[in-house]
Amino acid sequence: MSTNDSQRGYSIDTGRRRKKQLGLGILAVVIVAIVVVIVVNATGGNSANASEFGTNMKIAYFSAFPSEEKLLEYVAKEVAPEYGLTVTPVSLGEPQQIDRSVSEGENAATIYEHKYWMQQEVESGGFNIEAALPIYKWAFALDSDKYKSVAELPQGATIAIPADPSNQAQALWLLESQGLVKLKAGVNAWSAELGDIEENPKDLKFKAIEATDVPRALGDVDAAVTYADIFETAGVSADKTIVIPVPPPPFDSQLVIGKAHADDPNIKKLIELWEDPKIQAYLKNEGAPALFPVSAKPTIGPNA
């Protein structure tokens, strides 16, 4: 463009301006696309992941409970193929690790907890999980190195029980079902604590410790209450067991899934799988001493 042309009030377009405008337009489109991707990932990522399960369903179980592994192995071999699924047991050693893995979709489900333990985990860990259906009843046992029956327990006997709230509640239910304590009127069996004991005719003393540590306390107490599975895993002889009562429905262990994945077709198929009557037949025939089928009649007691 010459000086004279500029002075006349017009210029000749050499194409540079158009190229610049085109470049700016492309840059703007790229920036918008990046923003959209970021927003979708931030707000819609969970929805996108909600249908990512294939037919290989990994199910987490608590490594301290070999009965869960045996149940999963049975289901994997005898039940899952009929539903077009592969069940892969995954052993994990920490409850919050299990629930986190299900909440985040790393594992499809877990079978290790009843709904009150689950709620305890949700409140402490913020997990996005839900109970889909009951599978079995956890067996708690009263064991002793010194005594063979409930009647033999002396006045002032010391009983070891789990310290965490939901397992302590089941331990207290067991003791109440055997007439050793009486809980306050209106207290739910699944939320009872030591402070809810209203009557204690033998003046029992309690030692609250980690549920998995209870078997190691047997030599230091008169009797102890925890999962029958934990006693078995710890190598405690079956002849140390005084009683294993059948707990009421609140203590039924659940198939727990991630809420974000509840509509996944294969999760729905997994739920259908666990409703197969062969599983309850297995529990009836093979679950003892650790597991009862959900149809097992609870041991008679004030809160049964």
Domains and CATH numbers, the chain: 56-137+250-293 (3.40.190.10), 140-245 (3.40.190.10)
Q: What is the pLDDT of residue 58?
A: 98
Q: What is the pLDDT of residue 190?
A: 85
pTM of the model: 0.79
pLDDT digits (tens, 9 = 90+) for 98-152: 999 999 999 999 999 999 899 989 999 999 999 999 999 999 999 999 999 999 9
pLDDT digits (tens, 9 = 90+) for 147-176: 999 999 999 999 999 999 989 999 999 999
pLDDT digits (tens, 9 = 90+) for 263-287: 999 999 999 999 999 999 999 999 9
pLDDT digits (tens, 9 = 90+) for 33-77: 443 333 334 333 333 344 579 999 999 999 989 999 999 999 999
Percentage with pLDDT > 70 across the chain = 82
Among residues 106, 103, 148, the alpha carbon closest in space to that of 130 is found at 103
At residue 196 the predicted structure's pLDDT band, cuts being 50, 70 and 90, is very high
Q: What is the pLDDT of residue 228?
A: 95
Mean pLDDT of the chain: 86
* Of 22 and 60, more confident: 60
Separation CA 229–CA 148 (nearest Å): 19
101-107, Cβ contacts within 8 angstroms, sequence gap of 24 or more: 101/60, 102/60, 102/127, 102/129, 102/256, 102/257, 102/258, 103/127, 103/128, 103/129, 103/258, 103/260, 104/258, 105/49, 105/52, 105/53, 105/258, 105/260, 105/261, 106/58, 107/58, 107/59, 107/60
Whether the predicted pLDDT of 204 surpasses 70: yes
pLDDT digits (tens, 9 = 90+) for 234-249: 999 999 999 999 999 9
At residue 300 the predicted structure's pLDDT band, cuts being 50, 70 and 90, is low
